[in-house]
């Protein structure tokens, strides 16, 4: 039997150069895909945020892709499906340590494919998300932070969380000069 060990800090690994995908002047008419990590309520929250983007900014909800496992990075197939036909992708929701780390990694990988990705994590795992982004060569990768928890919330509380997230999602998608 062979046992293989991995260094979770990424030490000794060369990380690819990272640059955020281009942002937008306006959101009107843009197509949004969702990469749902499968955590309880993540599909509902991400859909609610997409609905708010549609209602307020004319964004078109294109499709939802569900990852094979919440606490693992998206497969290449999942990433390919998530970015296909999308102008941007909403992903998450990081509501635990592993799923937060994996959601941030997924967002970074979609950015590397040239598609803006907005990751949503709960506040309990903000530090985890920041640490992973730095380890993945994307120091200071921005993501949306909402109050914890998520998995146990009812529809009304989920709606409140979506309202808390939507303006920050817009901030991460629209070029700063366009907002001035």
| Domain assignment of residue 2, yes or no | no
Domain-embedded: residue 17: no
Residue 78's φ and ψ, nearest 5 degrees, are -60, -45
- Measure CA 93 to chain center: 7
Q: What is the pLDDT of residue 14?
A: 46
How does pLDDT run across 124-144, given as a tens digit for each residue? 999 999 999 999 999 999 999
Residue 166 has pLDDT above 60, yes or no: yes
Q: Is residue 12 part of a domain?
A: no
Residue 6 lies in a domain: no
pLDDT of residue 17: 76
pLDDT of residue 13: 46
- Are the C-beta atoms of residues 89 and 74 closer than 8 Å to each other? no
* CATH of residue 115: 3.40.50.2300
Judged against a pLDDT cut of 70, whether residue 4 lies above it is answered with no
Residue 61 is assigned to a structural domain of this protein:
yes
Q: For residues 110 and 98, which has the higher predicted lDDT (pLDDT)?
A: 110
Q: For residue 26, is pLDDT > 90? A: yes
Number of domains comprising the chain: 1
Q: What is the pLDDT of residue 179?
A: 62
Predicted local distance difference test score (pLDDT) of residue 15: 53
Residue 102 predicted with pLDDT over 50 = yes
- If DSSP codes are grouped into helix, strand and coil, which group holds residue 80? helix
Question: Is 105 within 8 Å of 37 (Cβ atoms)?
Answer: no
**Considering the chain, what is the average pLDDT of its residues?**
91
Is position 131 within any domain? yes
Q: Is 178's pLDDT higher than 90?
A: no
pLDDT greater at residue 10 or residue 82: 82
**Assigned domain for 169 exists:** yes
Residue 22 falls within a domain, yes or no?
A: no
Cα 63 to the center of its chain, rounded Å: 15
Q: Which pTM does this prediction carry? A: 0.90
Q: What is the pLDDT of residue 68?
A: 83
Burial 14-41 (b: 16+ CB within 10 A, else e): eeeeeeebeeeeebeebebbbbbbebeb
């Amino acid at each position: 039997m062979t046992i293989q060990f991995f260094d979770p800090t990424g030490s000794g690994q060369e990380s690819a150069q990272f640059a955020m995908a281009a942002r937008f002047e306006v959101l009107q008419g843009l197509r949004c895909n969702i990469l749902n990590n499968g955590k309880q309520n993540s599909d509902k929250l991400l859909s609610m945020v997409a609905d708010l983007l549609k209602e307020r900014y004319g964004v078109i909800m294109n499709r939802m892709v569900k990852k094979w496992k919440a606490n693992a990075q998206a497969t290449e197939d999942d990433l390919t499906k998530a970015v296909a036909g999308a102008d941007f992708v909403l992903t998450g929701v990081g509501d635990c340590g592993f799923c937060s780390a994996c959601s941030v990694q997924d967002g970074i990988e979609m950015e590397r494919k040239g598609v803006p990705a907005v990751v949503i994590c709960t506040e309990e795992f903000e530090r985890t998300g920041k640490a992973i982004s730095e380890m993945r060569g994307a120091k200071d990768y921005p993501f949306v932070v909402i109050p914890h928890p998520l998995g146990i919330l009812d529809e009304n509380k989920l709606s409140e969380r979506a309202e808390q997230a939507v303006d920050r999602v817009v901030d991460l998608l629209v070029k700063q000069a366009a907002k001035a």
